[in-house]
Structure 1
Amino acid sequence: MDQPLHRRQAPRRCCTLGTLQAWLPILSWLPKYKLQYLKMDFLAGLTVGLTTVPQALAYAEVAGLPVQFGLYSAFMGGFIYALLGTSKDVTLGPTAIMSLLCFSVVGGQPHRAVLLSLLCGLIQAVMALLRLGFLLDFISYPVIKGFTCAAAVTIGFGQVKNILGIQGVPQQFFLEVYYTFYKIPEAKVGDVVLGLVCLALLIMLMFMKSHPAADNSSAFSSFAGKLVWAVATMRNALVVMAASLVAYSWDASGHLVFTITGHTSQGLPPFRPPPTSDTTSNGTVVSFGEIIQGFGGGLAVIPLMGLLESIAIAKAFASQNNYRINANQELLAIGVTNIMGSFMSAYPVTGSFGRTAVNSQTGVCTPAGGIVTSVIVLLSLAFLMPAFYYIPKASLAAVIICAVAPMVDYRAVAKIWRIHKLDLLPFFVTFLMSFWEVQYGIVGGVAVSGALLLYSMARPKIKVSDHGAVLMELSSGLSFPAVEYLSHIIHAQALQVLPPRSVVLDCHHVSIIDYTMISELRDLLRQFKLRRVQLIFAGLQPSVLKVLLAADLQGFRHTDSVEKALQMESVNLLDD
């Protein structure tokens, strides 16, 4: 028997060029690629690559991992995103926030960090395939700001010990603060001086980039401006290279003045599946189930925060550069990046705001710029790892502090206070709880935001006025959290007064109604009938009216407008 036509056509629709371009965006831009794009993509990719290498090394320190794991995590994103990404600007790789989250979950254990990347990628890819990106909408702006501010403080202060060159400082934030100050007498002069010099140079170069010279009329001024911009953009790489040369010079003269990175594994990581078990230092084997149990809530928080950070960046630069992104495709790109990265010993990654900004400002034309960045990272792994031996930890600490400092956005607090003071509650809950445990801060902030949202649903604004009958203007939907509140207001204003009064409900702004509310309305209509007064609905939207008519409420009356309802109220006795 022949199949219906729409079933026979379904496989054809799945294999159309449009469908393939939706799943593989590279098919959209690669056929239109022009030779002039190559120059800009190469320049942007090279610039971002020189920014990525020192940052990746530094962020591995934040994650508590050997520095080579930062580079392991930095190259897969460029290749995958060129295939699957929908933004020309976004660069995927290790970030300060994801590194901190990773450390809070795995405690600096490399095998577990790699397994975490695989599981996060699977969760993110499944969310993309099931179109679950809307879940990110439940994380409000105050929660995001509270988390990023706390993360910046935690990450920044966590690097003070490396600036001071002190050892044996615990990782838990409050203990870290105490022992950092307690051990100040043990600080190494060389590390302190080098760290402060690196900080000063980075801040000066950041200032020069954000405040360029105004006079670009002459050729020399224009060239000087471009040179300053290039040096300022590559400031991280230049400062780390200079610090490494200083450390090497002192080491060659036999003076161990600085705390250096030390031995790192050279070469590309082997392509292999992530480990599904782990062995502790005393030889105890930890099973896959026990590792998952140890991840706890972090297994939900890290994928969501990774998606949130990456999509927020993609949307911001898409709006700035006048193009659109596909949010679910972005979820798929980051999910596949984390899955494939786990086979190359990477820990979870996401979009980087700083490197994306550099990519955009350098004039990248297509996602191909990310391929150049990835090649730079691979070349560093293959040939430069011995040179990383002499990188002073104080210089990496300076890079991290300068990277996270702008995340402490005190102006956002002032804006929230000015616009909606109640939103400061989830902000401060998130901010303060994040110092205890990062994932608890996010969960706590989301819980408080949810409670405020539910409270607004349970206590909708009801404007009451007297027009002979009691007129109640409802400002939102009629759903089950608001049942008791609406019933209380109606009883207090109409049914418990002498004599009882009729009520007109202005429902122009009501777009939803549920079964619990309908059950309560049925009881209210019965009580109004017993007291020989009326409950009249005005301005019902068609979808709400359809539900109320389907409920077959006895004594249900409605009009198109409030004026007609008030005229109807002149009939005091209800029909039998």
Structure 2
Amino acid sequence: MERRLMRRQSARRCCSYNTLKAWLPILSWLPKYNLKWLKMDVLAGLTVGLTTVPQALAYAEVAGLPVQFGLYSAFMGGFIYTFLGTSKDVTLGPTAIMSLLCSSVVGGEPHRAVLLSLLCGLIQAVMALLRLGFLLDFISFPVIKGFTCAAAVTIGFGQVKNILGIQGVPQQFFLEVYYTFHKIPEARIGDVVLGLICLALLVTLMFMKSSLTSDSDSTCSMYARKVVWAVATMRNAAVVIAASLIAFSWETYGNHVFTITGKTTRGLPPFRPPPTSDTTANGTVVSFGEIVEDFGGGLAVIPFMGLLESIAIAKAFASQNDYRIDANQELLAIGVTNIMGSFVSAYPVTGSFGRTAVNSQTGVCTPAGGVVTSVIVLLSLAFLMPAFYYIPKASLAAVIICAVAPMVDYRVVAKMWRIRKLDLLPFFVTFLMSFWEVQYGIVGGIAVSGALLLYSMARPHIEVTDHGVLVMELSSGLTFPATEYLSHIIHTRALQVSPPRSVVLDCSHVSVIDYTVISELRDLLRQFKLREVHLIFAGLQPSILKVLLAADLEGLRHNHSMDEALQMESRNLLDD
């Protein structure tokens, strides 16, 4: 009867409105939605939309895909995140880092990029349902910074060939550097001039926005600031549109001065399941299993990096704007976005720092602003694709270079050197290996960070002082990697000296202990007994004492505090 009652209560909790709100955060803010929020969300959505379209086109180039795939990837996130997201500021879509990772895994093949989106989404959604968000905690800050800095350099330099207008440059970074310099004599003057002008305009507008102040209270100055802010915020769209008009005017008169994007697929993408097989150029059919095998470590790296990037952004803006996010719910939102995106030919997406910053600065009130952004992308796909034919590749390259340049955070190296020099090791391992293969850089950095973590576990700090007896203060938990080190310290400092010394172990900071340590302690107690000295445990936490008592260690002595242990051992010495 009691079990039946408990089952009913559990079923009620699972089907309660609070549980539904936890899975659908839109139910928390939609009942309070008002006209003021609508106005701010529409304004923010329009602003972000005008930023998203040129960036999506540019990031598709980074991914090695036709430019329309950037737009295919840019609209599903706004709809899904409105229902499932817990941050009012985050915008999901293609980003520089995810585009680079996608390029390294799928090699510019659209069918594989779409399938990769489905598989990444499934992995992310399963992680969310299993509440595995804590796994992201094992990727350290130096690894993240090393990767983002290397990615920014790789992406930025990869666009130099488009600024120069040269062709036939391989994707692999070191070969790309060599052939870019080797082919400089083949540079097209039109692309170089236009690319440099676009870069100069973007940098100027970016500095104008950052230098805006609110010192003057006059109406004229206020409107001037708003105009400058609006133009600077939508600088990517403004520069790409201006460059496209220039290219169109030259092309109209038959002068092929610029390298342009060329023909793009017009209209909305069809809603269909992602392909589960592929056909090579010579007609060979590649099965689903073979494609997954080709993805290799990318199937682990891309979902993790997508989650890491988006959750880091969500946490940063939640802290800035004084609200909380649910990391596992964010995992679910990104996972479902990638799953549904694969049905509209999208490649993997995540949260964008730049567009999220624009969203926040424009005053977005709810995730509904993403719906407006998505509608703008859909309208662009439906009506503006023919105009994208004339977008110069040099202008898109300028947009990408300006977007990734702030990611090269050279100041972080000086900070790590000043605070903890050892953290530079995983940073540089990640940074340097990422130029070889992006996945290897991340895996290598995580491996080095893990090794440093394991070393600190295996070599905990043990402070030894002499109070008539040796006092050894343990700074952390006792687990099996530290067993041999603890045993070595006790033997060399207490048991192998003449005469042998008693030891008081200060365990006040020890909150974890395992069976391997228990076995070693049993042997140590026997050694102390043979030499007629004592091993005393002081300051044991209740959970640790319970484990030691359950182990039934022969000769176990323990005291509540260090003072009691020292007094007891002093009395033993006097009695002897």
Distance 2:430 2:318 in 1: 29
SS in 2 for 1:390: coil
Aligned residue for 1:181? 181
Distance 2:353 2:388 in 1: 25
Q: CA deviation at 1:570?
A: 3.0
Q: CA deviation at 1:213?
A: 4.2
Distance 1:215 1:480 in 2: 62
Q: CA deviation at 1:433?
A: 0.3
Aligned residue for 2:171? 171
Aligned residue for 1:31? 31
Aligned residue for 1:151? 151
Tell whether 2:413 aligns with 1:402: no
Listed as ranges, the matches of 1:517-528 within 5 Å are: 517-528=517-528
Aligned residue for 1:465? 465
Aligned residue for 1:82? 82
Tell whether 2:252 aligns with 1:248: no
Distance 1:218 1:573 in 2: 85
* Superposition CA RMSD, Å: 1.2
Deviations, residues 108-159 of structure 1 (Å, cap 9, x unaligned): 1000000000000000000000000000000000000000000000000000
SS in 1 for 2:264: coil
Aligned residue for 1:449? 449
Distance 1:266 1:543 in 2: 66
Aligned residue for 1:226? 226
Q: CA deviation at 1:567?
A: 1.7
Q: CA deviation at 1:254?
A: 1.1
SS in 1 for 2:536: strand
Aligned residue for 1:208? 208
The answer for unaligned runs of 5 or more in structure 1 is none
Q: In the alignment, is the contact (CA less than 8 A) between 1:533 and 1:574 conserved in 2?
A: no
Listed as ranges, the matches of 1:511-550 within 5 Å are: 511-550=511-550
SS in 2 for 1:27: helix
Distance 1:561 1:215 in 2: 61
Aligned residue for 1:381? 381
Q: CA deviation at 1:9?
A: 2.3
SS in 1 for 2:389: helix
Distance 2:517 2:574 in 1: 23
SS in 2 for 1:195: helix
Aligned residue for 1:343? 343
Aligned residue for 1:118? 118
* 1:453/1:81 CA distance change after superposition, 3 Å: same
Relative to the length of structure 2, the TM-score reads 0.99
Distance 2:9 2:312 in 1: 37
**How many residues in Structure 1 have an aligned counterpart in Structure 2?**
575
Q: CA deviation at 1:297?
A: 0.5
Listed as ranges, the matches of 1:59-458 within 5 Å are: 59-458=59-458
Deviating more after overlay: 241-250 vs 15-24: 15-24
Distance 2:510 2:358 in 1: 47
Corresponding letter in the other structure for 1:401: I
Deviations, residues 392-432 of structure 1 (Å, cap 9, x unaligned): 00000000000000000011111111111100000000000
Corresponding letter in the other structure for 1:329: Q
Corresponding letter in the other structure for 2:101: L
Q: In the alignment, is the contact (CA less than 8 A) between 1:89 and 1:356 conserved in 2?
A: yes
Aligned residue for 1:52? 52
Aligned residue for 1:499? 499
SS in 1 for 2:272: coil
Deviations, residues 150-198 of structure 1 (Å, cap 9, x unaligned): 0000000000000000000000000000000000000000000000000
Q: In the alignment, is the contact (CA less than 8 A) between 1:166 and 1:188 conserved in 2?
A: yes
Q: In the alignment, is the contact (CA less than 8 A) between 1:216 and 1:225 conserved in 2?
A: no
SS in 2 for 1:558: strand
Q: In the alignment, is the contact (CA less than 8 A) between 1:41 and 1:365 conserved in 2?
A: yes
Deviating more after overlay: 209-218 vs 459-468: 209-218
Distance 1:8 1:477 in 2: 42
Deviations, residues 65-122 of structure 1 (Å, cap 9, x unaligned): 0000000000000000000000000000000000000001111100000000000000
Aligned residue for 1:508? 508
SS in 1 for 2:473: strand
Distance 2:66 2:466 in 1: 72
SS in 2 for 1:4: helix
Distance 1:146 1:167 in 2: 30
Q: CA deviation at 1:12?
A: 1.7
Corresponding letter in the other structure for 1:478: L
Distance 1:448 1:292 in 2: 27
Distance 1:574 1:260 in 2: 93
Tell whether 2:561 aligns with 1:561: yes
Aligned residue for 1:479? 479
Distance 1:94 1:377 in 2: 12
Q: CA deviation at 1:574?
A: 13
Corresponding letter in the other structure for 2:388: F
Distance 1:423 1:131 in 2: 29
Deviations, residues 518-571 of structure 1 (Å, cap 9, x unaligned): 000000000000000000000011111111111000000000111111122235
Distance 1:542 1:107 in 2: 57
Distance 2:574 2:104 in 1: 66
Q: CA deviation at 1:214?
A: 4.7
Relative to the length of structure 1, the TM-score reads 0.99
The answer for unaligned runs of 5 or more in structure 2 is none
Corresponding letter in the other structure for 2:280: T
Distance 1:209 1:253 in 2: 37
Identity between Structure 1 and Structure 2 (%): 85
SS in 2 for 1:343: helix
Corresponding letter in the other structure for 1:103: S
Deviating more after overlay: 62-71 vs 412-421: 412-421
* 1:430/1:574 CA distance change after superposition, 3 Å: farther
Q: In the alignment, is the contact (CA less than 8 A) between 1:529 and 1:574 conserved in 2?
A: no
Aligned residue for 1:16? 16
SS in 2 for 1:450: helix
Corresponding letter in the other structure for 1:480: F
Q: In the alignment, is the contact (CA less than 8 A) between 1:310 and 1:350 conserved in 2?
A: yes
